[in-house]
Structure 1
């Protein structure tokens, strides 16, 4: 284990770590109450979790090509020393999703490669920090089994996984031919409240999401198989107890879902907690923070305040190094074995937002970790700045709110391509696939330069940040034709109602965020601006009319309100974000393990040359002798003549550096 004295102890009374060596020198360590009050035959054991690092060792956003204070194992590492010092005894685990998720991961897999004996930058960093155990996440398989095994061989800690087999499942899970040990029991010497030392046997068992067989079928089909998490746990937990484990800890790369348990369920951690013999659970995969409010409110069996699943301590430590998950156990010796007398849970962040919602770093990086991956970091910077494909036309968003747009089109193309592949072996393979995408960089509060603008020709990975700002993940929902229309009606709240015959009426509703203006590809339609909006910003119907969406067609025919469609979108929208009528989590049929950004990058690599030209599947309905005006970036003037089906012309200068444009309806 790494000597904790080599870490800067940056954790003061407020639990906000201090920046800078001078501040660090004056920081105080406050013992956890369990460590402070432990008596004879009582000991405090703190178990620390990192999860969903996704190759984010450095506090750097490679897509945007700039530093980022919300991420990085190097930042999380800088508080490990202080967190250990607060505890009487401690252990450190990782809960998976290490190898894919940012361009450094792609660089290592696609450019540099991993031979047997090579040390991956993630392992370089983690080996410095003294991990005790870890498990696999679904993204470990994205580059194939050989790559994963070559990386994992470099880990200085044991990797456990109880539900990944080499072949078909055995009739008894304990007879499965597993790739990794299902569990490990670590005998750790701990000090009780009097300072007396004695061993405690801590068992760790790991689980990977079973749907990897769908998500990574091309890498796993015929080579591996997964077993249901709960089924595997019920088989192996008694074996751990028989082997002498005092405490059993589940490393579950699986989220929290209160839905009824189903075979090979993706997010099974709540049901896993119900397995007899498990004492505590580390979760992940969902990129959320637990304990925490709102997300988990009202879920049966979940206490989001104390941090329990089925009454047992549980934690989910965010993603990309944003938090350190902590489970603190007060152990009592009962004869020759130990049991849990009390516990607390916490997900400790590396940053916070101030009153202005601006991000403030709470920690500096651990320089040893940064230095360990310096060469790979610099190589990754060169990689993201190097073209990975070409675009046959410019990618810009100056007119994304008033015309079918190339920057939105390419996102839709990538989402459709991805979802079609993901669903090809499922019950939804024959459903028509639509795609919903919104412009993110569309001026507004971001200013007159806040637009996507990528020239035709070579396109680099970092340009993807211009196409997709947020780290959303791809999801697919199953909806009816009527719900497609309502979806578009909600989006059409972007526009003010326009009186026919008006001259230069204001087009855009300033209170409507551009990220809620979804364009749906795969259908054609027109928007009648003379009609009032059907829904308000809360998704409540406010008009009894037929709505603004007219001539809505699928496959050249009026859309059937009863026909069902798969719509590719993102987790924000699919989960109810934007309060679109009828769109919520119960419509989700597929929740991808991949971000929209990653899907766009893969699409560009797959296509070689992308064609982002908008297909003109939507437009405004004509209104005689009517014109409207809107603001956009002045650099958009160069593209005015490229817009399909919309008569746009410059209309002078606007306020705050914006330009005005006119649309003749």
Structure 2
């Protein structure tokens, strides 16, 4: 018998993880230590608690799941994913995820690996702006869907079951066509996030969705009032009519709870709303669980649901509660194999390789990467008919220090292991070679120099903490490129865009029209970091090997597999010339 109530209210809890980056166990493979509040094994406790608090719930993964950890690297190198369930997918199945949206790093290892990884997922895998072409693997076509439908049943106070139809739409950055071009060309197309999401949301509403969730592997422009960005499109997506909850990621920020978006209009960083839409972004490595509680009202006369209220929260994962033992045990075999994998010896270094002071002086670790890139670039160019030009090498520190108290990647002189190489180069980038002239190289270095604070003469002093104080902490380490083969200086007393001077090649002033090949990573060559003249159009050669593998091969090519090179003091930060060696 139908209920005589006019309305009935309930709460639907939406839980989000994003940017886990392969971190499952609460363990840092580089420090070889347990790490509290880290990885999905720790997040699992927050998920369990959140489910107990709100029995009507959904758990959604929002991308960048299968790349970024030593365990993930081991799985790519040694695990038979084509035959057995990927260990990370075992965890998602055990945690009863309802949906997974793809992120950009899901494509780093190719479409075959992607399809094999998600083959055994016990939940829909979605992407609304990814179009699979004829050449895409058939098994991926069978696995991937444009959006997910979840049919729930809510029992009211009189025992009547009320159907609740939820649709989840997912989008990812179209820049994957640049970042992973060698894997994706002629196999997929990626449409703009905004127009794709608008179309998908309108379609699922027409098909009867009561609640629409937009899982967007993207963030928002930071420290600016301009919301227009085709990679960080979250503010634009929040304005789509018909979206009840917006799940963000990609930037590794925590929202609500950060002020980096406050310059944007209609962003409430305390309440967790963007243009009135409840939104959440759960940080990095499972550090937070994103929560959006939607209060739903059911109208019996119209047989329809309406969202009448919402609350957003990025819930920090406890660092005092032990990680979930069941999840850790589930991947214990993979964990032990990863430990063995990381200890495989591959050579030696006569020099300590350190990123620690790389933000204010040349770094031995950066130079190691740069030399490996030159070595690989020489081989790649020799197989082409391109004219001979000088080869330069651009690289950035991935794990430097912002302050004198910070720790950073440091590999002691002595044996080198796979783990050490993985610590030096944690990203699955490949090598690209770009062709640029002197003027364009100057612009590249000026962009890097934005990583230095503006300073006045009295603030500049040789040595001591002044060098640390010149670092701009808002500028990420991975964008602070130096270019080996050029000598130059950065003067923090000059205006942005006018800081780099005394640029020389082979001891002579750099000429504006002089041409070079520059070995760099595919992320940078294809627009990552918004460097001028680096949008893919200047790329002349693309390598297929991941740069971590290039480092391994470079060591193997050296006499006695030993790196002996002194650090080249080829650039200087004015005021820091007399500081200690890296």
What TM-score does the superposition give when structure 2 sets the normalisation length? 0.74
Cα distance between partner residues in 1 of 2:37 and 2:68: 15
Name the structure 1 match of 2:11.
Answer: 44
Report the counterpart of residue 289 of structure 1 in structure 2.
254
How far the C-alpha of 1:81 sits from its partner, in A, is 2.0
The offset of 1:266, in angstroms, is 2.4
- Are 2:197 and 1:233 aligned? yes
Question: Displacement, 1:522?
Answer: 3.5
- Structure 1 SS opposite 2:125: coil
Pick the aligned partner of 2:311 from 344, 369, 387. 344
Change (3 A) 1:617 1:256: same
Q: Does the CA contact (< 8 Å) of 1:53 and 1:97 recur in 2?
A: yes
Instruction: Tell me the SS of whatever aligns to 1:106.
Output: helix
Q: Corresponding residue for 2:86?
A: 120
Displacement of 1:88 in angstroms is 5.0
Matching of residues 242-253 of structure 1 within 5 Å = 242-253=206-217
Which residue pairs with 2:526 in the alignment? Answer: none
Q: Is structure 2 residue 522 aligned with structure 1 residue 522?
A: no
CA distance in 2, matches of 1:120, 1:202: 28
- Return the offset for 1:324: 0.2
Distance 2:422 2:34 in 1: 16
CA positional deviation for 1:410: 1.8
1:460, distance to aligned residue in structure 2 (A): 2.2
The worse-fitting range, judged by mean Cα deviation, of 318-327 and 612-621 is 612-621
Do 1:604 and 1:610's aligned partners in 2 also have CA atoms closer than 8 Å?
Answer: no
Question: Cα distance 1:509–1:590, how it changes in 2: closer, same or farther (>3 A)?
Answer: farther
- 1:625-645 Cα shifts (integer Å, max 9, x gaps): xxx98778xxx9xxxxxxxxx
Within 1, Cα distance between the matches of 2:250 and 2:356? Answer: 36
CA contact (8 A) 1:493 1:509 kept: no
| Preserved CA contact (<8 Å) 1:55 1:98 | yes
What are structure 2's unaligned runs of at least 5 residues? Answer: 136-140, 381-388, 473-479, 524-528, 537-544
Instruction: Tell me, yes or no, if structure 1 residue 105 matches structure 2 residue 72.
Output: yes
**Which residue matches 1:658?**
none
- Decide whether the 8 Å contact of 2:366 with 2:395 is kept in 1: no
2:503 paired with 1:552: yes
Q: CA deviation at 1:195?
A: 7.0
- The C-alpha deviation readout for 1:310-367, integer Å capped at 9, x for no partner, is 321111111211110001101111321111101011111115xxxxxxxxx1432111
Between stretches 372-381 and 234-243, larger displacement belongs to: 234-243
Query: 2:272–2:312: 8 Å Cα contact kept in structure 1?
Result: yes
Q: Aligned partners of 1:608, 1:561: CA distance in 2, in Å?
A: 35
Secondary structure of 1:48 counterpart:
strand
- Cα 1:455–1:47 change in 2 (3 A) is same
Deviation, 1:300, is: 2.9
Aligned to 1:133: 99
Contact 1:63 1:463 in 2 (8 A): no
1:184 aligns with 2:148: yes
Deviation at residue 392 of structure 1 after TM alignment:
6.2
Supply the RMSD in Å over aligned alpha carbons: 4.9
Deviation at 1:201, TM superposition (A): 0.7
2:174 counterpart of 1:210: yes
Within 2, Cα distance between the matches of 1:519 and 1:230?
A: 32
Q: 1:436, 1:154 → 2: CA distance?
A: 38
Q: Provide the residue aligned with 2:442 in structure 1.
A: 481
From 186, 205, 222, the counterpart of 1:222: 186
Q: Distance in 2 between matches of 1:492 and 1:277?
A: 43
Alignment size in residue pairs: 521
Q: How does 1:551-630 map to 2 (within 5 A)?
A: 551-554=502-505, 556-559=507-510, 601-605=548-552, 607=554, 609=556, 613-614=565-566, 616=568, 618=570
Give me the whole-angstrom Cα distance separating, in 1, the residues matched to 2:521 and 2:111: 29
List runs of 5+ in structure 1 lacking aligned partners: 1-37, 170-176, 352-360, 422-429, 498-505, 528-532, 572-583, 592-597, 622-627, 637-665
Aligned mate of 1:273, from 238, 257, 271: 238
Q: What are the residue-to-residue correspondences of 1:397-436 with 2, within 5 Å?
A: 397=354, 405-413=363-371, 435=394
1:276 counterpart SS class = coil
* Residue aligned with 2:467, SS: coil
Cα separation, 2, equivalents of 1:266 and 1:487: 20
Report the secondary structure of 1:100's partner residue: coil
| Aligned-residue offset at 1:615 | 6.6
Task: Specify the alignment match of 1:645 in structure 2.
Answer: none
Q: Deviations over 1:282-309 (max 9, x none)?
A: 1111111112232111113433222222
* Shift in CA distance, 481/151, structure 1 to aligned 2, threshold 3 Å: closer
1:454 aligns with 2:420: no
How far apart, in 1, do the equivalents of 2:66 and 2:521 lie? 25
Query: What aligned pairs does 1:290-309 form with structure 2 within 5 A after superposition?
Result: 290-309=255-274
Give 3-state SS (helix, strand or coil) of 1:513's partner: helix
The one of the two structures with greater contact order (alpha-carbon pairs below 8 A, sep at least 6) is: 2
Q: Conserved in 2, the CA contact under 8 Å of 1:201 and 1:245?
A: yes
Cα deviation 1:507-536 (Å, max 9, x = unaligned): 522342299497832354377xxxxx9546
CA deviation vs aligned residue, 1:188-222 (integer Å, no higher than 9, x gap)? 11245777642211111122222222222222222
Secondary structure of the 1:521 match is strand
Alignment of 1:384 onto 2:342: yes
Q: How does 1:650-665 map to 2 (within 5 A)?
A: none
Partners of 2:202 and 2:162 in 1: CA distance:
24
In the TM superposition, what is the alpha-carbon distance from 1:394 to its structure 2 partner?
3.1
The higher radius of gyration belongs to 1
Residue of 468, 482, 485 corresponding to 1:513? 468
Q: What is the TM-score with the length of structure 1 in the denominator? A: 0.66
**Which residue number in structure 1 is paired with residue 119 of structure 2?**
153
Residues 128 and 147 of structure 2 are in contact (CA less than 8 Å); yes or no, is this contact kept in structure 1?
A: yes
Cα deviation for residue 62 of structure 1 reads: 1.4
Where does residue 21 of structure 1 map in the other structure?
A: none
3-state SS of 1:63 partner: coil
